[in-house]
């Protein structure tokens, strides 16, 4: 056989083999996945009487007492020349008196509250305001500044704060207004049940009046005024633009939101992930200064070098432990839900009053760390290209025998106090048929109950807003 004939035979055999393989592994028909939108279920028809408004649990009365104290406006003298104004709004304001004028640190979220604070300060001193310092760009620290501005007043912040505020207050303006109202429980107020107490959040004066920094820096900045040295250090934690203020002559440290008397909000549910590792590193720097006075942007000051060291050390250890446990879960391939169930504050720290989950939560922190360090896909297939949630919900409602079956069970669970399961069952019905009013009314009642029993200030606001939005969608006022 000539080489040409051999080549032809080899080509024919190869073609036959490829055809056989193609027949086994290749389809000439469409390979698009089947996507079917199930029919929406009918609206539920059950009779339902909402439960009475939730009552405050006995164990929460002490927390309410502490909250009332925190909401009482007062100006405290921290040292001869340092004053802390708290309780006028969510954010506190600090004043430092020098022989050449005043330094104001943070300005609250409200010009109205800032005006009340400045009137109190004016009862103490008539010195001009020479500097305003922003510890970071959150609205409860920067919105009251116009009240303190005088001719020649300088506003000092990190250079990162400018970028941070441009994003939050310009690019994401509408989102931030909405998310902050959600957090404070003030969305759809006409559909919320009235509270027997005032809110600490005074409302935003408006982003149009923001006073932008006149002096910015990257890592460190210092100035001397009236015999006092103000050393500013760029720190990371609550935000990436954060700073702390150190007055060595007073051994006073103004820490913004790097410390307050609660387990910290390492990840707030509606905003971007926070630099948790940097937060722990910032606390190391704070401890090394050995402050006698620790003055935070929220909650009371801490006094005494030993007490400040003890508190900051515990705070740092708790944050670092939660971060390291979460990283270990990530490296072991655990899902975020698995990590949420296992990560805890070390047992010897969990009972400390300044690490109770009154403002931040460990489970929120775990979720935020996952968001900051990993992508959105968990590797399990289902979430890679999911169907709209309504498809799944409609199948579930059909399998259950209709919306009435699911909501009847939700009502039983609500009477039992199993409110998280109630709202998840209601969500199935709502996803299947957004027009189902009863599911929203049942869900709103459980959300309101969860607001009063969660024991966390942020949860209280988020749940109240969520309940109001469900009632609004159903067109039913409390």
Q: Is the pLDDT of residue 475 over 80?
A: yes
What pairs with residue 102 in β-bridges? 97, 129
Q: Which long-range contacts (CB under 8 A, 24 or more apart) does 444-449 make?
A: 444/468, 444/470, 444/471, 444/474, 444/476, 445/50, 445/51, 445/414, 446/414, 446/419, 446/420, 446/422, 447/419, 447/423, 448/53, 448/54, 448/193, 449/51, 449/54, 449/417, 449/419
Do the Cβ atoms of 437 and 474 come closer than 8 Å? yes
Q: Give the span between the Cα atoms of 220 and 180, in whole angstroms.
A: 31
Establish how many alpha carbons lie within 13 A of residue 400's alpha carbon, considering only the half-sphere containing its beta carbon. 21
What pairs with residue 77 in β-bridges? 83
Q: Is the pLDDT of residue 169 over 60?
A: yes
Of the two residues 162 and 57, the one the predictor is more confident about is 162
Q: Do domains 74-373 and 389-474 have the same CATH topology?
A: no
Q: pLDDT tens digit string along 75-100?
A: 999 999 999 999 999 999 999 999 99
Q: Give the span between the Cα atoms of 256 and 239, in whole angstroms.
A: 10
Three-state SS for 221? strand
Of the two residues 166 and 26, the one the predictor is more confident about is 166
Q: Is the pLDDT of residue 436 over 60?
A: yes
Our CA dihedral for 166, 171, 174, 178, rounded to 10 degrees, sits at: -70
Predicted confidence at residue 297, as pLDDT, reads 97
Predicted confidence at residue 20, as pLDDT, reads 58
Nearest to 92 by CA among 75, 77, 80: 75
Where in the chain are the domains? 74-373, 389-474
Q: What is the DSSP string of 314-343?
A: HHHHHHHHHHHHHHHHHHTT--HHHHHHH-
What pairs with residue 245 in β-bridges? 232, 254
Predicted confidence at residue 13, as pLDDT, reads 61
Listed range (65-69, 120-124, 258-262, 344-348) with the worst mean pLDDT: 65-69
User: Which DSSP category does 414 fall into?
Assistant: H
Nearest to 439 by CA among 13, 36, 50: 50
Of the two residues 109 and 1, the one the predictor is more confident about is 109
Q: Is the pLDDT of residue 262 over 80?
A: yes
Question: Which top CATH class is 74-373?
Answer: alpha beta
What rounded mean pLDDT belongs to the chain? Answer: 91
Q: Which helix (H) or strand (E) holds 372?
A: helix 362-373
Predicted confidence at residue 35, as pLDDT, reads 79
Count the Cβ atoms, other than its own, within 10 Å of residue 301: 21
Predicted confidence at residue 32, as pLDDT, reads 73
User: Which DSSP category does 88 fall into?
Assistant: S
Of the two residues 314 and 14, the one the predictor is more confident about is 314
Listed range (109-123, 193-207, 243-257, 443-457) with the worst mean pLDDT: 193-207
Q: Give the span between the Cα atoms of 203 and 462, in whole angstroms.
A: 16
Predicted confidence at residue 381, as pLDDT, reads 93
Predicted confidence at residue 455, as pLDDT, reads 86
Predicted confidence at residue 55, as pLDDT, reads 76
| 370 pLDDT tier (thresholds 50, 70, 90) | very high
| 288 pLDDT tier (thresholds 50, 70, 90) | very high
Q: Which long-range contacts (CB under 8 A, 24 or more apart) does 334-340 make?
A: 335/378, 335/380, 336/366, 336/367, 336/370, 336/378, 339/366, 339/370, 340/366, 340/367
Q: Which helix (H) or strand (E) holds 66?
A: helix 61-70
Question: Which top CATH class is 389-474?
Answer: mainly alpha
Q: pLDDT tens digit string along 385-419?
A: 999 999 999 999 999 999 999 999 999 999 999 99
Q: What is the DSSP string of 102-171?
A: EEEE---S-HHHHHHHHHHHHTT----EEEEE-S---HHHHTTGGGG--TT-EEEEEHHHHHHHHIIIII
Q: Is the pLDDT of residue 68 over 80?
A: no
Nearest to 265 by CA among 142, 357, 371: 357
Pairing, β 154-158 against β 215-217: parallel
- Burial status of residue 333 (CB atoms within 10 A of its CB: 0-12, 13-18, 19 or more): exposed
Pairing, β 243-247 against β 74-77: unpaired
User: Which DSSP category does 251 fall into?
Assistant: T
What pairs with residue 229 in β-bridges? 224
Predicted confidence at residue 433, as pLDDT, reads 96
Predicted confidence at residue 54, as pLDDT, reads 85
Count the Cβ atoms, other than its own, within 10 Å of residue 400: 18
Predicted confidence at residue 34, as pLDDT, reads 80
| 207 pLDDT tier (thresholds 50, 70, 90) | confident
Q: Is the pLDDT of residue 264 over 90?
A: yes
Pairing, β 243-247 against β 302-303: unpaired
Cα 357–184–456 angle (5° rounding)? 15
**pTM given for the model:** 0.90
Predicted confidence at residue 241, as pLDDT, reads 97
């Amino acid at each position: 056989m000539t080489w040409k004939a051999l080549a032809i035979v080899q080509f024919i055999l190869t073609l036959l083999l490829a055809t056989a393989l193609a027949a086994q592994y290749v389809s000439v028909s469409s390979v698009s996945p089947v996507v079917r939108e199930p029919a929406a279920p009918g609206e539920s028809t059950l009779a339902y009487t909402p439960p009475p408004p939730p009552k405050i649990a006995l164990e929460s009365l002490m927390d309410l007492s502490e909250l009332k104290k925190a909401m009482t406006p007062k100006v405290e003298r921290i040292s001869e020349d340092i004053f802390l104004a708290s309780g006028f709004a969510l954010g506190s304001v600090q004043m430092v008196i020098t022989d050449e004028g005043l330094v104001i640190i943070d300005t609250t979220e409200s010009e109205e509250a800032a005006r009340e604070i400045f009137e109190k300060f004016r009862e103490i001193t008539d010195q001009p305001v020479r500097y305003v310092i922003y510890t970071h760009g959150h609205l409860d620290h920067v919105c009251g500044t116009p009240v303190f501005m005088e001719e020649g007043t300088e506003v000092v912040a990190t250079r990162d704060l400018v970028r941070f505020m441009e994003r939050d207050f310009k690019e994401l303006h509408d989102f931030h207004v909405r998310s902050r109202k959600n957090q404070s429980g003030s969305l759809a107020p006409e559909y919320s049940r009235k509270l027997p107490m005032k809110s600490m959040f005074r409302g935003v004066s408006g982003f149009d009046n923001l006073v932008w920094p006149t002096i910015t820096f990257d890592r460190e900045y210092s100035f001397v005024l009236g015999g006092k040295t103000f050393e500013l250090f760029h720190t990371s934690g609550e935000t990436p633009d954060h700073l702390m203020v150190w007055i060595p002559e007073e051994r006073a440290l103004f820490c913004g939101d790097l410390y307050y008397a609660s387990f910290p909000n390492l990840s707030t549910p509606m905003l971007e992930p926070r630099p948790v590792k940097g937060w722990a590193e910032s606390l190391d720097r704070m401890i090394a200064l050995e402050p006698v006075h620790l003055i935070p942007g929220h909650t009371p000051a801490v006094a005494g070098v030993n007490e400040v060291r003890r508190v900051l050390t515990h705070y740092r250890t708790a944050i670092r432990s939660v971060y390291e446990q979460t990283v270990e879960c990530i490296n072991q391939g655990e899902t975020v839900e698995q990590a949420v169930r296992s990560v805890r504050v070390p047992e010897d720290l969990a009972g400390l009053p300044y690490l109770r989950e009154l403002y931040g939560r460990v489970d929120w922190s775990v979720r935020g760390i996952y968001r900051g360090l990993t992508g959105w896909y968990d590797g399990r297939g289902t979430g890679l290209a999911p169907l709209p949630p309504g498809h799944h919900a409609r199948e579930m409602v059909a399998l259950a025998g209709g919306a009435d079956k699911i909501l009847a069970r939700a009502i039983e669970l609500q009477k039992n106090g199993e409110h998280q399961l109630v709202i998840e069952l209601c969500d199935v019905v709502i996803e299947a048929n957004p027009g189902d009013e009863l599911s929203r009314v049942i869900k709103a009642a459980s959300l309101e109950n969860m607001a009063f029993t969660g024991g966390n200030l942020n949860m209280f606001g988020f749940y109240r807003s969520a309940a109001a939005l469900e009632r609004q969608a159903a067109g039913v006022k409390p």
